[in-house]
Chain A
Amino acid sequence: MAEVKLTNVNKVYPNGAHAVRGVNMEIADGEFIVFVGPSGCGKSTLLRMVAGLETVTEGDLHIDENRINDVSPAERNVAMVFQNYALYPHMTVRGNMSYGLKNRGDSKEEIEQKVIEAAKTLHIEDFLDRQPNQLSGGQRQRVAMGRAIVRNPKVFLFDEPLSNLDAKLRVQMRIEIKKLQRKMGVTSIYVTHDQTEAMTLADRLAVINNGQIEQMGKPIELYKDPKTLFVASFIGSPQINLMSAQYDGKILKSGTLEIDGFENLPVAEELVLGLRPEHLRIDTKGKLAMNIDLVEQHGADNLVYGTLEGAKNEDGEDLELCLRLNQDQEPSIGETITLSYDHTNALVFSKETGKRLI
């Protein structure tokens, strides 16, 4: 049971790479926090600093009341699950799980009991005497999890633990991790570049960009109320539709397309209008005309892709639009449909600063 606090944390690598820039964060006891962001944004670095695998260049780390900047990794009482599992290849599954306990001086009986218990939780009790190279990817993943939970740590750290699994197993393990964390109530930090994983796992989500936290909050908050263009485009699948726009005082224009109903926007500034695929709907009286290129049937809903007549994307090209429809609405390829949009859900950003305006 622990709270984690990061105060103005910075990391500069010896080669000069400034990987983490002034991160502040308070994580409550038992909370499941996910760091999400594109590759190279610094999320692993941040996690590894909490684990003690990287030094902190500037700032403070606290677990509960203790400043842990200079505490060795083994004494922080954290457990980490690595992307490639990092199992000890010369030890059996039992050896892997008991190694940490042995080193901190638990008694033999205690270790055996904890290992069995953890193995049961993760359904790996049949493999206890196998070497890691005799296990499948999914089983190795479970052993790595087992090695973490057996220590009953204050904080769980996960660095993309599911990236090496196939899609089906990934979803299954995702659910299992979440359940396990709920049951154990251990404060957790989870790093991923996959926004679906992030949305589904997190109590709170930190979107990281270029070493900084863009925005932190509940997944649905970030989805509905993104503060920046980066967050809006990173969260949500399929991605939000973004079109370049200008406001002339009365009307918002993208290319030759006129979009009415907006007020109080800055004039003479490049803007970006964001419309989520589910906030558009087919409407014979709608003002947006879309030429359909592709229809994807996902079962419950259909994703329709095409170009929006007149509108331009951020790079000034014709806008590729994505539209989410119910399964019973299935327009055909080549057809032109008219759309209207849900006005209250439209997002407008400044192109220059990336900040949200409406």
Chain B
Amino acid sequence: MKRVQFSHSPIPYLFIAPQIIIICIFFLWPAAQAIYQSFLLEDAFGLSSQFVWFKNYKDTILTDAWLQSAGFTLVFSFLVTFLSLALAMLLAVKANEVIQGARTYKTMLMWAYAIAPPVAGLMGNLMFNPLIGDLYYFLNAMGWDFNHKLDSFDAGFVVVLIAVWKQVSVNFIFFLSGLQGIPKSVLEAATIDCKSNLRRFWTMTFPLLAPTTFFLVVINITYAFFETFGIIDTTTGGAPGGSTSTLVYKVFTDGFRGNDLGGSSAQSVVLMVMVLALTVIQFRFIERKVHY
């Protein structure tokens, strides 16, 4: 009798093997390492280590420095996400209305996408350089006693500005394609039904863009949490006094600058849990409202 079943060929496993290996090497293995490390206390030379249970967590998480960094991360992520989405949406809606020279306009808006975060950081660094920075001079000339090396608000301003600038182009591309996915006749029907442009935006365009917006919120929060590392490292380096150090940046400085591998690991485990929770919340609660 013939069995109507696929024989167990090893070939499918072969095809997914690279993906599995990548996940194991670059995610599962380091994650396991981090969890293991977070329970160890090493001596300063890394020669011996001791299993200390949750001591690392207690010593690093419940400190003022960590709470301050967590606070900054939340404010920073919110500002970067909100500002870059709002700005990108405005630009995309306007770009979508442009008829002549549309392609040039769109290409120019997309350019910043091609810039790596550390490079964006370096450019920002030059612009805010107290000796040669144009923006530094400009802000001071405007009457703002601006010095991001000393003032933590000013330093925050710099990193938010650069992080937003870098991210606007990505969001712009997505919003533009989202807008182009809205049938033209639907917006035309709305023009006949609603006189006010602004009202039409909030009742028609904005809800129809919601799936794109939701997707971008997830992407942007992840960006603000992790990818802004390069920007912070090349501009403020967490200064002044750790006031612009995001949680990810703090993991790096504590671990590699401060040589506290156990504490750094404990922080990264906490960070991992936070991101996991955030993602679950986003998909559970927000996405449900987005679908129509």
| Bound together | yes
Q: B residues within 8 A CB of A80?
A: 188-189, 192
Surface stretch bound by A, among B22-30, B43-51, B119-127, B203-211: B203-211
Contact with A along B187-215 (1 / 0, CB 8 A): 01111111110010001100110100000
A51 located at the interface, meaning its Cβ lies under 8 Å from any Cβ of chain B in the complex = yes
The answer, among B99, B194, B196, B292, for a CB contact under 8 Å with A89, is: B292
A-B contact pairs, 30 of them (CB 8 A): A14-B100, A52-B191, A52-B192, A53-B191, A53-B192, A72-B195, A74-B191, A74-B195, A79-B192, A80-B189, A80-B192, A82-B188, A82-B189, A84-B185, A86-B189, A88-B189, A89-B186, A89-B208, A89-B292, A90-B207, A90-B208, A90-B210, A99-B190, A99-B203, A100-B194, A103-B194, A131-B292, A133-B292, A147-B189, A147-B193
Contact with B along A65-103 (1 / 0, CB 8 A): 000000011111011101110111110000000011001
Decide if B185 touches A74 in the complex (CB within 8 Å): no
Decide if B192 touches A51 in the complex (CB within 8 Å): yes
Chain A residue with Cβ nearest B185: A86
Shortest beta-carbon distance from A147 to chain B in Å: 8
Q: B residues within 8 A CB of A90?
A: 207-208, 210, 292
The answer, among B193, B203, B208, B210, for a CB contact under 8 Å with A74, is: B193
Shortest beta-carbon distance from B285 to chain A in Å: 18
Q: A residues within 8 A CB of B195?
A: 72, 74-75, 103-104
Shortest beta-carbon distance from B156 to chain A in Å: 37
Shortest beta-carbon distance from A353 to chain B in Å: 38
The answer, among B186, B196, B210, for a CB contact under 8 Å with A88, is: B186
- Most chain A beta-carbon neighbours within 10 Å: one of B100, B191, B204: B191
- Most chain B beta-carbon neighbours within 10 Å: one of A51, A79, A90: A90
The answer, among B99, B192, B203, for a CB contact under 8 Å with A78, is: B192
Which residues of chain A (101-136) have a CB below 8 Å from chain B? 103-104, 131, 133
Decide if B186 touches A86 in the complex (CB within 8 Å): yes
Give the complex CA separation of A87 and B186 in angstroms. 6
Which residues of chain A (300-331) have a CB below 8 Å from chain B? none
Decide if A99 touches B208 in the complex (CB within 8 Å): no
B183 located at the interface, meaning its Cβ lies under 8 Å from any Cβ of chain A in the complex = yes
Chain B residue with Cβ nearest A104: B195
Contact with A along B264-292 (1 / 0, CB 8 A): 00000000000000000000000000001
Question: With A14-B100, A90-B208, A99-B203 known to touch, is A74 a contact of B183 (CB < 8 Å)?
Answer: no
Shortest beta-carbon distance from A342 to chain B in Å: 46
Shortest beta-carbon distance from B80 to chain A in Å: 28
Decide if B185 touches A88 in the complex (CB within 8 Å): no
Shortest beta-carbon distance from A36 to chain B in Å: 21
Give the complex CA separation of A69 and B189 in angstroms. 18
Shortest beta-carbon distance from A151 to chain B in Å: 8
Q: B residues within 8 A CB of A74?
A: 191-195
Q: B residues within 8 A CB of A84?
A: 183, 185
Give the complex CA separation of A75 and B186 in angstroms. 18
- Number of chain A interface residues as a range: 20 to 34
Q: B residues within 8 A CB of A51?
A: 192
Q: B residues within 8 A CB of A100?
A: 192-194
Give the complex CA separation of A103 and B196 in angstroms. 9
Shortest beta-carbon distance from A77 to chain B in Å: 10
Chain B residue with Cβ nearest A131: B292
Decide if A99 touches B193 in the complex (CB within 8 Å): yes
Give the complex CA separation of A82 and B191 in angstroms. 13
Contact with A along B220-239 (1 / 0, CB 8 A): 00000000000000000000
Which residues of chain A (166-201) have a CB below 8 Å from chain B? none
Chain A residue with Cβ nearest B203: A99
Give the complex CA separation of A75 and B207 in angstroms. 24
Give the complex CA separation of A80 and B187 in angstroms. 12
Question: With A86-B183, A86-B185, A89-B208 known to touch, is A99 a contact of B191 (CB < 8 Å)?
Answer: no
Decide if B193 touches A103 in the complex (CB within 8 Å): yes
Contact with A along B160-199 (1 / 0, CB 8 A): 0000000000000000000000010110111111111001
Give the complex CA separation of A103 and B191 in angstroms. 11
Decide if A82 touches B185 in the complex (CB within 8 Å): yes
Q: A residues within 8 A CB of B191?
A: 52-53, 72-74
Give the complex CA separation of A76 and B203 in angstroms. 21
Which residues of chain B (59-103) have a CB below 8 Å from chain A? 99-100
Which residues of chain A (45-61) have a CB below 8 Å from chain B? 51-53
Q: B residues within 8 A CB of A147?
A: 189, 193
Give the complex CA separation of A103 and B195 in angstroms. 8
Decide if B194 touches A99 in the complex (CB within 8 Å): yes
Q: B residues within 8 A CB of A151?
A: 193
Contact with A along B234-265 (1 / 0, CB 8 A): 00000000000000000000000000000000
